[in-house]
Chain A
């Protein structure tokens, strides 16, 4: 939609947009271009500027097996936590949209995990998941050592995926519910006149109409899983055991700020940025084609 009524004083327009442009230039575009520069250079140990090394940093990063492992883990983490959160949110929203008694209560109650900081949620789950006295300690009474995120990489991965999914459910739920409520009532009624029962209407009517929302949430949740993961990993598992939960953002932090390898971390940052952009692009290219906007 394009407007036709405009104000004339264009100098004012430039003035109004200047602060925003300035701030994103300093904190977004400049840093991004710097990352580019660092990724292709190597900082000399005793100062004296950066030395151009071409693709060496990338070669080093990509020949590092732990890096490939971290990419892999990030993808598994993103896919599983997004899948878990979205499917749960979708089911809950579909049922909540039936608006039976108490529906308002659910609508309210399912929103608030959104407000909780990822690290705070992670600390709570670290308590719940601890093998001695947490809820999951019960598993260990069945067979000792069955559950221990401090020792088993699979358990630790499970723990961070559940935490992330738990945190994401409410966000997706809000969008799904709003999407469902924007479907015209008359469509639902027409469906039921034609003899479609509740479940049939959910599957054949509401789900397809919800496709744009599902797509949008897929993109958002996948991106979020890269950003939120740092707090969760840092508090819940600290990347361990034996790097089993070292996701990409966490690895950048460890290599760059604890290992002080800025060039390597910059190269990793670039790969991560490229991956996020590529992921968004692929989702638009291949999944959006199946989405019908009304």
Chain B
């Protein structure tokens, strides 16, 4: 604040409040809808204040979409993606930044390019791979003639197969295969001064020790940020689980089940239950973001540079 601008201050507040309302109203109205009875939610005049049916609607949504198992599945997938991503990106960025080998920049670009094409854009081919994750290796062995050699000498017809459809690995691994984390760590590692590395080396620390005792403690903020981003990303996946999970009773995730909550065209539209289900699905990532807010914002922003 440099000068006094009473009129503009009023405008500023008005704009901000208007914007916040635009963002909040949809969520508020769906929350309100989740607290109403079927009759209330279908009455032509919109309700703006909550009623008393929240708990009933939540339990109705929970049983209708059979959220018990699915909630667990979503949790498992989200947490596994977070752990996998945090670990794999940290070591690969460490390799790119703190070692000097010939293929370093090649590897960096090979990883970086994957940022450009998100999973949704290449679902068809990725799906085929998930049906047999070892197929690429089989193809390489066939092509190079190694499998022919093995068949000649041992008489064993080599056929590698690892079906990932309807499994946790199928839900998790393709989500780990992106570059966001590696990039985030790299940007941070580059800011670590050379002197620190020199000092560590002089004190007799090898790369392992440096990684665990210097680098990891320093990148706590980045890890928190990456974990938040990845949790939200993994929890909110929709298209990929929809494709590879056909065994819905055991492996589907909560976001997949949203579709089942859409009221049909013929029955009475029970939007109250649908909205209660939406709230359940929204809640975990929302809580994570609110709790981790401070780190999360910092992490998001440092990916830019």
Contact = CB atoms under 8 A, between A and B. Distances in A.
Given A35-B124, A166-B23, A119 B176 contact: no
A114 interface: yes
Given A14-B95, A123-B274, A174-B300, A20 B182 contact: yes
A3 B282 contact: no
Contacts of A32: 117, 122, 125
A128 interface: yes
Nearest to B189: A3
A46 interface: no
A231 B256 CA distance: 10
B16 interface: yes
B224 interface: no
A231 B88 contact: no
Interface string A219-252: 0000100110011001100000000000001001
Interface in A77-105: 88, 91-92, 95-96, 98-100, 102
Interface stretch (A59-67, A203-211, A265-273): A265-273
Interface residues of A, number: 103
A231 B15 contact: no
A117 B12 contact: no
Contacts of B135: 30
A116 interface: yes
Contacts, number: 307
Contacts of B208: 12
Contacts of B96: 17
Contact of A110 (B19, B190, B194, B290): B19
Given A23-B176, A98-B12, A111-B289, A16 B194 contact: no
B124 A235 contact: no
A289 B91 CA distance: 35
Interface string B259-290: 10110000001010011011001100110111
Contact of A17 (B107, B133, B179, B278): B107
B46 A138 contact: yes
Contacts of A68: none
Interface string B170-194: 0001101111001000000010001
Given A128-B26, A253-B123, A273-B122, A116 B88 contact: no
Contact of A130 (B3, B133, B259, B271): B271
A17 B116 CA distance: 20
B243 interface: yes
Contact of A133 (B2, B41, B236): B41
A195 to B, nearest CB: 10
B177 A17 contact: no
Kindly state the interface size class of chain B when it binds its partner. Answer: 35 or more
A196 to B, nearest CB: 10
Nearest to B277: A123
Contact of A108 (B29, B107, B293): B293
Nearest to B119: A227
A119 B117 contact: no
A69 interface: no
Contacts of A47: none
A142 interface: no
Contacts of B269: 130, 132-133
Nearest to A163: B26
Contact of B271 (A30, A113, A133, A174): A133
B15 A257 contact: no
Interface string A1-21: 101111101101110110111
A13 B100 CA distance: 9
Nearest to B126: A31
A137 B92 contact: no
A269 B125 contact: yes
Given A117-B235, A118-B236, A127-B30, 16 more contacts: A12-B95, A12-B208, A17-B107, A20-B89, A24-B177, A29-B110, A99-B1, A114-B232, A114-B289, A117-B255, A123-B262, A133-B41, A133-B269, A249-B120, A249-B239, A272-B121
5 contacts: A23-B88, A100-B13, A134-B46, A178-B297, A235-B258
